[in-house]
Amino acid sequence: MSHIVEARTTIQHPDLTLLRQAVEIVAGAHEGGRVEDHILDYGRRRQVISSGLAVFTGRVFRGIGIEIDAQGMLSFKGDPWTVQQEFNQLQQEILQTYVSLATMAALQQMGYSAEASQEDTQVVIRGVAYA
Protein backbone atom coordinates (compact mmCIF):
# COMPACT_ATOMS: atom_id res chain seq x y z
CA MET A 1 0.00 0.00 0.00
CA SER A 2 2.90 2.36 0.52
CA HIS A 3 6.56 3.05 0.12
CA ILE A 4 9.38 5.48 0.80
CA VAL A 5 11.60 7.01 -1.87
CA GLU A 6 14.78 9.04 -1.46
CA ALA A 7 15.93 11.09 -4.43
CA ARG A 8 18.57 13.55 -5.55
CA THR A 9 17.09 16.56 -7.33
CA THR A 10 18.43 18.83 -10.04
CA ILE A 11 16.75 21.92 -11.47
CA GLN A 12 16.73 22.68 -15.17
CA HIS A 13 14.42 25.17 -16.89
CA PRO A 14 12.81 26.38 -13.65
CA ASP A 15 9.43 28.07 -13.52
CA LEU A 16 10.38 31.75 -13.25
CA THR A 17 7.26 32.78 -11.30
CA LEU A 18 7.95 30.10 -8.70
CA LEU A 19 11.65 30.98 -8.65
CA ARG A 20 10.85 34.63 -7.98
CA GLN A 21 8.52 33.55 -5.17
CA ALA A 22 11.31 31.41 -3.67
CA VAL A 23 13.80 34.27 -3.90
CA GLU A 24 11.35 36.68 -2.24
CA ILE A 25 10.71 34.23 0.62
CA VAL A 26 14.44 33.75 1.20
CA ALA A 27 15.13 37.49 1.07
CA GLY A 28 12.26 38.13 3.50
CA ALA A 29 13.72 35.66 5.99
CA HIS A 30 16.99 37.61 6.35
CA GLU A 31 17.68 40.90 8.06
CA GLY A 32 18.05 43.58 5.41
CA GLY A 33 16.93 41.09 2.75
CA ARG A 34 15.68 42.38 -0.59
CA VAL A 35 15.38 41.29 -4.23
CA GLU A 36 17.15 43.21 -6.99
CA ASP A 37 17.87 42.66 -10.69
CA HIS A 38 21.62 43.07 -10.29
CA ILE A 39 24.55 42.34 -8.01
CA LEU A 40 27.54 44.48 -7.09
CA ASP A 41 31.10 43.51 -8.00
CA TYR A 42 34.16 44.13 -5.80
CA GLY A 43 34.27 47.74 -7.00
CA ARG A 44 30.58 48.19 -6.11
CA ARG A 45 29.71 48.33 -9.80
CA ARG A 46 26.31 46.98 -10.84
CA GLN A 47 26.31 43.70 -12.76
CA VAL A 48 22.93 42.91 -14.30
CA ILE A 49 21.63 39.36 -13.73
CA SER A 50 20.00 37.71 -16.75
CA SER A 51 17.11 36.20 -14.77
CA GLY A 52 16.46 39.55 -13.08
CA LEU A 53 16.73 37.81 -9.71
CA ALA A 54 19.34 38.59 -7.08
CA VAL A 55 19.16 38.53 -3.29
CA PHE A 56 20.84 41.04 -1.02
CA THR A 57 21.00 40.63 2.74
CA GLY A 58 22.62 42.62 5.50
CA ARG A 59 25.59 40.23 5.42
CA VAL A 60 25.69 39.44 1.68
CA PHE A 61 25.71 43.13 0.79
CA ARG A 62 27.07 42.63 -2.76
CA GLY A 63 24.23 40.23 -3.50
CA ILE A 64 23.90 36.80 -5.03
CA GLY A 65 22.39 36.50 -8.49
CA ILE A 66 20.70 33.57 -10.17
CA GLU A 67 21.84 32.97 -13.74
CA ILE A 68 20.10 30.53 -16.08
CA ASP A 69 22.20 29.34 -19.01
CA ALA A 70 21.08 28.33 -22.51
CA GLN A 71 20.50 24.76 -21.28
CA GLY A 72 18.26 26.05 -18.50
CA MET A 73 20.74 25.17 -15.77
CA LEU A 74 20.92 27.40 -12.68
CA SER A 75 24.09 28.92 -11.37
CA PHE A 76 24.81 31.52 -8.72
CA LYS A 77 26.86 34.63 -9.39
CA GLY A 78 28.39 36.99 -6.90
CA ASP A 79 31.44 37.92 -4.90
CA PRO A 80 31.51 35.79 -1.73
CA TRP A 81 34.66 37.41 -0.34
CA THR A 82 34.48 37.39 3.50
CA VAL A 83 30.91 35.98 3.39
CA GLN A 84 31.48 32.55 1.84
CA GLN A 85 29.39 30.72 4.46
CA GLU A 86 26.40 33.05 4.13
CA PHE A 87 26.76 32.95 0.34
CA ASN A 88 26.62 29.14 0.32
CA GLN A 89 23.71 29.14 2.76
CA LEU A 90 21.69 31.51 0.58
CA GLN A 91 22.21 29.21 -2.43
CA GLN A 92 20.94 26.24 -0.44
CA GLU A 93 17.96 28.17 0.90
CA ILE A 94 16.92 29.32 -2.58
CA LEU A 95 17.13 25.78 -3.99
CA GLN A 96 15.39 24.22 -0.99
CA THR A 97 12.61 26.82 -1.08
CA TYR A 98 12.13 26.37 -4.84
CA VAL A 99 11.87 22.56 -4.53
CA SER A 100 9.47 22.98 -1.59
CA LEU A 101 7.20 25.42 -3.44
CA ALA A 102 7.18 23.18 -6.53
CA THR A 103 6.31 20.15 -4.38
CA MET A 104 3.44 22.05 -2.72
CA ALA A 105 2.11 23.09 -6.14
CA ALA A 106 2.45 19.54 -7.53
CA LEU A 107 0.60 18.01 -4.58
CA GLN A 108 -2.19 20.57 -4.91
CA GLN A 109 -2.49 19.73 -8.62
CA MET A 110 -2.89 16.07 -7.57
CA GLY A 111 -5.83 17.07 -5.38
CA TYR A 112 -3.99 16.96 -2.05
CA SER A 113 -4.25 19.64 0.59
CA ALA A 114 -0.64 20.52 1.33
CA GLU A 115 1.01 22.23 4.28
CA ALA A 116 4.68 23.01 4.82
CA SER A 117 6.61 23.34 8.05
CA GLN A 118 10.24 24.03 8.86
CA GLU A 119 11.82 21.35 11.03
CA ASP A 120 15.40 22.25 11.90
CA THR A 121 17.16 22.56 8.52
CA GLN A 122 14.55 20.52 6.67
CA VAL A 123 11.27 21.59 5.07
CA VAL A 124 8.52 19.00 5.56
CA ILE A 125 5.50 19.10 3.24
CA ARG A 126 2.48 17.02 4.17
CA GLY A 127 -0.14 16.34 1.53
CA VAL A 128 -3.43 14.66 2.46
CA ALA A 129 -6.26 13.47 0.23
CA TYR A 130 -9.51 12.01 1.54
CA ALA A 131 -11.02 10.91 -1.80
Partner 1 sequence: MPKEIEVTVNPDGMTKTDFSGFAGPSCLDAAKRLRELLAQFGIQSEETLFVPKPELEAALENDQVAHREIGQERS
Q: How far is the CB of 16 from partner 1 (least distance, A)?
A: 10
Question: Under the criterion CB under 8 A, does residue 25 sit at the interface with partner 1?
Answer: no
Question: Under the criterion CB under 8 A, does residue 110 sit at the interface with partner 1?
Answer: yes
Nearest to 25 by CA among 74, 93, 85: 93
- The residue (of 48 and 106) whose beta carbon lies closer to partner 1 is 106
Residue 40 in 3-state DSSP? strand
Question: Under the criterion CB under 8 A, does residue 15 sit at the interface with partner 1?
Answer: yes
125 and 104 Cβ atoms separated by less than 8 Å: yes
Q: How far is the CB of 124 from partner 1 (least distance, A)?
A: 5
Question: Residue 38 corresponds to which amino acid?
Answer: H
Determine phi and psi for 126, rounding to 5 degrees: -110, 120
Question: Under the criterion CB under 8 A, does residue 29 sit at the interface with partner 1?
Answer: no
